[in-house]
Structure 1
């Protein structure tokens, strides 16, 4: 809570950054909402938020802070390629890295920065798809996916492009990120950029095609610093789609 809610100015910077994607009244999907730092920033903009989170402790925080806010819907579930149930490996000491992706856990534990992390329990959680969430709650103007290696499965349950989205990039799981990038590129004509760690700043001065983004990530990979890849539909393709309708 101190890390995500106690740093002065953090949410103001975050809100300023996300105004590139969200406006008052827009809907944002926060997939892997954790304790709601994005929820708080998006509400500061005036956006409506669908906060999806499977971890019981994080859900308690979300319900305590946002449970009575009519502009925030909390979904106690994980998101995947198919509806059902699945097991979530929980790290009690570091819940931000709780994961439903055993292969991702194997990859990151080889990195020295994860040497002290332990996934010491597991729980069964319900799983919904992005298509189901969109059918129930509407199409988001922005989709944030941060689910510790399960991003490809999350996007596997999305059959249509959304206006803009983000997913986490972690250097020890570089190949997994490239798989996710391919899935996003297959959904629509996207352009990409990268924001290292929580800087809320762009690594590139302009929006890139997928190949240029991969070259950019290769430069960041040796630094071992995580961040988020952002994708937005090319404006010309959005305009063409509107004319087609």
Structure 2
């Protein structure tokens, strides 16, 4: 029962016409019809749907069986859904699952262990584990081609996802959590290793860039360091100049 309540809660928060419409308008500014995109951590598919509505060709990854089943029934038929996570190797992995708050289910054990003391996570309990399939971004590229954009939202596992990518892509985004700045700083360093990226944040579900200009990694690090731990989370976009 709690699994279904968790699905219903996620749908209430993320799957609504206003949110999807706002992200569609946002993606229309950075994507062109026909662009190939990877949605890593599709969850209930709100970003997948928004990107699909601007004409992108979407490969959506979602490892949680309940959510993958929902996506299989509801996504447009031309979206390629893969029931798997992305990481540093092609293997099977153990995911810590929160039945009541499935959006924070994670493959990152450090994230799960530290989250109990973080603002905003005191009410979350990871009450079970699921064995999930894991692919790499490199293997996805070998099968489907080089994407224009990769969206990564995997609750602290972003660095592991990027460890399975050996070449720069034109644009990518990763979730940031102010409570876990050390994880985000490692992700920024990894992105810089891939190429000369510039950065711009999107706060929460506002679906708009915070800055009028794009900044280097040090500028992004300085901004992150200034955030209080209870600041809202969001996405860090990185693009090649």
Fold match, TM over 0.5? yes
> Equivalents in 1 of 2:157, 2:112: separation in Å?
10
Task: Show the counterpart of 2:122.
Answer: 115
Q: CA deviation at 1:44?
A: 0.9
Q: Say yes or no: does 1:34 pair with 2:36.
A: no
SS in 1 for 2:37: strand
Q: CA deviation at 1:222?
A: 4.0
Q: Say yes or no: does 1:5 pair with 2:15.
A: yes
Q: CA deviation at 1:109?
A: 1.5
Alignment counterpart, residue 69 of structure 1, candidates 65, 77, 89: 77
Task: Show the counterpart of 2:184.
Answer: 177
- Say if 1:28 and 1:50, in contact at 8 Å, map to a contact too: yes
Alignment of 1:27-176 (within 5 A): 27-66=36-75, 69-70=77-78, 72-176=79-183
Q: What is the TM-score normalised by the length of structure 1?
A: 0.91
Task: Show the counterpart of 1:20.
Answer: 29
Question: What is the alpha-carbon root mean square deviation over aligned residues?
Answer: 1.2
> Equivalents in 1 of 2:33, 2:222: separation in Å?
35
Q: What is the TM-score normalised by the length of structure 2?
A: 0.93
Q: CA deviation at 1:77?
A: 0.6
SS in 2 for 1:173: helix
SS in 1 for 2:39: strand
- Say if 1:174 and 1:221, in contact at 8 Å, map to a contact too: no
Alignment of 1:209-228 (within 5 A): 209-228=216-235
Q: How many residues align?
A: 231
> Equivalents in 1 of 2:218, 2:119: separation in Å?
29
Q: CA deviation at 1:21?
A: 2.5
Q: CA deviation at 1:186?
A: 0.6
- Say if 2:19 and 2:205, in contact at 8 Å, map to a contact too: no
> Equivalents in 1 of 2:196, 2:221: separation in Å?
16
Cα deviation per residue 1:123-182 (whole Å; 9 max; x = unaligned)? 111111000000001111110000011100000000000000000000111100000000
Unaligned runs of at least 5 residues, structure 2? 1-10
> Equivalents in 2 of 1:132, 1:139: separation in Å?
11
> Equivalents in 2 of 1:179, 1:137: separation in Å?
28
Stretch of structure 1 that moved more, 35-44 or 200-209? 200-209
- Say if 2:108 and 2:155, in contact at 8 Å, map to a contact too: yes
> Equivalents in 2 of 1:187, 1:153: separation in Å?
14
- Say if 2:96 and 2:112, in contact at 8 Å, map to a contact too: no
Unaligned runs of at least 5 residues, structure 1? 235-245
